[in-house]
């Protein structure tokens, strides 16, 4: 649900799906990007490397960009990997800020795990295997959430900046792999705050 723009993974999803399809540009080679994470071949049908494939997908979909809090490092803000994918810190409560300048539609918290806009104030949820995170989610809940844009697949709408519209185009195999990997992440107990409605939020019966 972490930073918008380049941090939210919207732009990388298309490239990710292109790479997973096995397509290559006519003038590229493996040596052109030596530091990139190698694509994992699709083996979910046989049950092999499902978790490895999920790790690859979670990485290129930039899930850490919105679900891993930032901390200040020696060169500026950097992901706090001791809280990897644990969502917005529960000990950092926030209130809906005033949106007074019409030229600004999105405000981000210092941790880049919470964003405010006309829809309200959204918090990145805990994606670790703890019961405060995905520990209580089934694979079907996870898949339906990214297919329908509903929290846990049946709840309130998933609001910006979470790019679920892009992720909804992933295959069932992709989503199963991502879920399998996320369930292997060590649990971090962190109950992210609940969504706070804003002036342009959905009707009450959809919250």
- pLDDT, one tens digit for every residue, the chain (207 residues): 443 333 433 333 333 333 333 333 333 333 443 344 444 444 444 455 899 999 999 999 999 999 999 999 999 999 999 999 999 999 999 999 988 888 888 999 999 999 999 999 999 999 999 999 999 999 999 999 999 999 999 999 999 999 999 999 999 999 999 999 999 999 999 999 999 998 765 454 443
Q: With contact defined as beta carbons under 8 Å apart, do 111 and 70 qualify?
A: yes
Q: Output the pTM of the full model.
A: 0.73
Report the alpha-carbon distance of residue 51 to residue 46 in Å, rounded. Answer: 13
For the chain, the structural domain boundaries read 5-206
Alpha-carbon dihedral of residues 59, 194, 139, 203, nearest 10 degrees?
-110
Closest Cα to residue 126, out of 96, 98, 153, 89?
89
């Amino acid at each position: 649900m972490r930073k918008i723009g380049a941090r939210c993974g919207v732009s990388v999803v298309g490239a990710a799906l292109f790479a997973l399809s096995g397509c290559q540009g006519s003038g590229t080679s493996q040596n052109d990007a030596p530091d990139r994470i190698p694509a994992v071949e699709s083996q979910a049908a046989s049950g092999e490397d499902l978790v490895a494939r999920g790790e690859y997908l979670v990485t290129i979909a930039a899930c850490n960009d919105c679900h891993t809090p930032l901390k200040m490092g020696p060169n500026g803000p950097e992901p706090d990997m001791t809280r990897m994918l644990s969502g917005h810190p529960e000990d950092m409560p926030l209130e809906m800020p005033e949106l007074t300048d019409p030229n600004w539609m999105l405000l981000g918290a210092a941790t880049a795990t919470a964003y405010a806009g006309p829809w309200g104030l959204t918090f990145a949820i805990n994606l670790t295997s703890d019961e405060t995170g995905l520990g209580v989610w089934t694979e079907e809940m996870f898949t339906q959430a990214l297919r329908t844009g509903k929290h846990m697949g049946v709840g309130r709408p998933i609001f910006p900046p979470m790019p679920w519209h892009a992720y909804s185009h992933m295959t069932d195999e992709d989503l199963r792999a991502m879920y399998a990997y996320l369930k292997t992440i060590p649990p971090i107990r962190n109950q992210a705050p609940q969504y706070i409605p804003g002036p342009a939020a959905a009707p009450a019966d959809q919250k």
